[in-house]
Structure 1
Amino acid sequence: MNADGLVYVSLAQLMALEFKARDLSFLARQPRGSILAGNHASRLRGRGLNFDELRRYQPGDDLRHLDWRASLRTGKPVVRTFTEERDRPALIVVDQRMSMFFGSQRSFKSAVAAELGALAAWMVFNAGDRVGGLVFNDQRIDRIAPLRSRKRIEALCSRIAQQNQALNAANPDAEGEEQLDKVLQQCLALAGHDHLICIVSDFAGAGERTLQLMRQLATHNDVIAMQVYDPLALNLPKNGRLLITQGELQVELAVERRQVNQPLGDFLSGRLKDVATLLRRSRVPLMMFSTATEAQQQLRAELGKLAGARR
């Protein structure tokens, strides 16, 4: 199988993204207008603080840390000291379902999601935190427990590459319970509190249950949604014919005909907007990534590090 990075990715490709992730951070100060700024997409919490001890006040101590009860009891100013948590766990959730195996420009959604998942993992690792994740397709969910280790990132990237390379147009679609919601339920079981959860998906099949699970996850964790989409959903070609494949079924549509173009365009763009609206209702920061542009370039812009970059 040719792992060209546009349709299929390789483990070596995902591991090499360590260098592209070095100047990216989820926790960097974000400019106004960034995806991580504002009331509806609050800045990430960062690492927590653990109480260390009470001690006598010293000039320069933060007055907000004065312990008034202890100060009144001793008759002298006393402050509470804290130590920063050494690290925090992160779960990188990467979608490799059949709905992701599509691309009309440059890359397939599945390949972009694989790259974004690896970039997110390296960003977390470079920040000194533990990395784990869930990689899922229509039939199975692979879980990797968080650990600060290059071997753990290699294990995560290996699962991403394996599931990515298993995608094939002849694969059957999933049946039964919605897989996306199953994955979010597993996230809830794994992440009690103070995790960073990064979900990379097209969010196909998302509904009210998905919204409920996202809100539950975001109550005690930092959750980021990375929605991968194809530009065809926004700009359907006006001329020629469009070949749509699903497993062994192929349908050719004459998109130059208005009675075909308008309903199909309305359906595709409406579905994308519906999912984006649902995600925004969850109050989870939402980033959107097109298959037409390189993943790292878009991630830099979404994080607010590219001057003047806006979605």
Structure 2
Amino acid sequence: MARTVSDMAELARTVRRIEVRSKRLVNELFSGEYHSSFKGRGIEFSNVREYAWGDDIRTIDWNTSARKNDLYVKQFREERERTLLLVVDGSGSMLFGSRRVMKKELAVEVCAVLAFSAIRNNDKVGLIMFTDRVEKYVPPRKGRGHVLVILEEIVSRGTESRKTDISAALSFIRNTQKRQAIVFLLTDLVDERYEMGMRILNARHDFVLIHLGDPLEQALPRTGILELADPESGERLLIDTGSRKSIDRYAALRNEQREALRRRLRRLGIDAVYLETGRSIIGALDRFFRYREKKV
């Protein structure tokens, strides 16, 4: 369906609000942490300067020193340019949210912070939107304008399929990204067939899972008979939330599933960040970046 002028104007206003909010977080918190967490691929020669007391003698440039009859040392800089690939789940379950935002809106917020952090560090940014297939691929490029294109794509793209196949997206990455990239997968993991794909991708790239959840998925309110619907299959289930026993059983089951997921990801050696709708992303991202700084 073609967008009207008013639709386009509203989209532009939405993206602008996201840009303003995320740039503030980048400027105040995350730009330096992103840089420290994802180093460049190496160092390259930059320049020479006169030797100063305390310089490492191993950096002395003997050819320049002999030519100028004084001691000079080599200077190096980090080979910074890298590629950040945002891989965003666009399936039906991402349209769920019991608090202030849906999972999809949470994904947009995280993508904005990561993308603006990346371009501030001279990295390229690309996008893959997927359901049970890859729906959209935006090749990596630099610049604010390109980031805004990516954010507009995430915000405006409808759900073409309600199902999820993470392995399809991971396979697409393996076929298109020949050089090592920083890959953030943003999904609620409503899928089971992803372990092998994640293992392979994690060995080749800087791979990070951003798990998007909702409080209602972990604990039910005590409201009586509650009808739940699977957003991907359409299957419906009635639960008696007036019963404390039913609520406790549901919470125990979901807690065990959550812990099993964490154990599975640790076994695969995959770094993961766990976010929920209704909660700020700042604390979780800050802890993750600090963890990565110590790891690299």
TM-score range, shorter chain: 0.7 to 0.9
Q: Summarize the alignment of residues 295-310 of structure 1 with structure 2, pairs less than 5 Å apart.
A: 297-304=280-287
Q: Does 1:127 align with 2:121?
A: yes
Counterparts of 1:27 and 1:133, CA distance in 2: 20
Q: Which runs of 5+ in 2 are unaligned?
A: 2-9, 64-69, 289-296
Distance 1:148 1:263, change over 3 A: same
Kept in 1, the 8 Å contact 2:219–2:250? The answer is no
1:141 aligned to 119, 135, 138, which one? 135
Q: What fraction of aligned residue pairs are identical, expressed as a percent?
A: 19
CA deviation map 1:235-270 (0-9, x unaligned): 222442222123554333212335643443333333
TM value normalised by structure 2: 0.73
Q: Which runs of 5+ in 1 are unaligned?
A: 2-8, 30-35, 37-42, 71-75, 306-311
- RMSD (Å), alpha carbons: 3.8
1:216 aligned to 197, 203, 206, which one? 203
Kept in 2, the 8 Å contact 1:225–1:286? The answer is yes
Counterparts of 1:97 and 1:210, CA distance in 2: 19
Distance 1:85 1:217, change over 3 A: same
Partner of 2:251: 265
Distance 1:217 1:27, change over 3 A: farther
Kept in 2, the 8 Å contact 1:230–1:291? The answer is yes
2:163 aligned to 173, 187, 194, which one? 173
Structure of higher RCO (CA pairs closer than 8 Å, 6+ residues apart) = 1
Q: Summarize the alignment of residues 31-110 of structure 1 with structure 2, pairs less than 5 Å apart.
A: 44-52=37-45, 58-60=51-53, 62-63=55-56, 65-66=58-59, 80-85=74-79, 87-110=81-104
Q: Aligned pairs, how many?
A: 272
Counterparts of 1:181 and 1:67, CA distance in 2: 50
> Partner amino acid for 1:173?
K
2:172 aligned to 157, 176, 186, which one? 186
Partner of 1:234: 218
CA deviation map 1:20-74 (0-9, x unaligned): 2234255535xxxxxx9xxxxxx6232344432796972257428538999xxxx
Counterparts of 1:272 and 1:51, CA distance in 2: 44
Q: Summarize the alignment of residues 193-208 of structure 1 with structure 2, pairs less than 5 Å apart.
A: 193-206=179-192, 207-208=194-195
More helix as a share of residues? 2
Shift of 1:158: 2.6
Kept in 2, the 8 Å contact 1:11–1:161? The answer is no
Shift of 1:134: 1.0
> Partner amino acid for 1:215?
N
Distance 1:155 1:126, change over 3 A: same
TM value normalised by structure 1: 0.70
Partner of 2:18: 17
Partner of 1:40: none
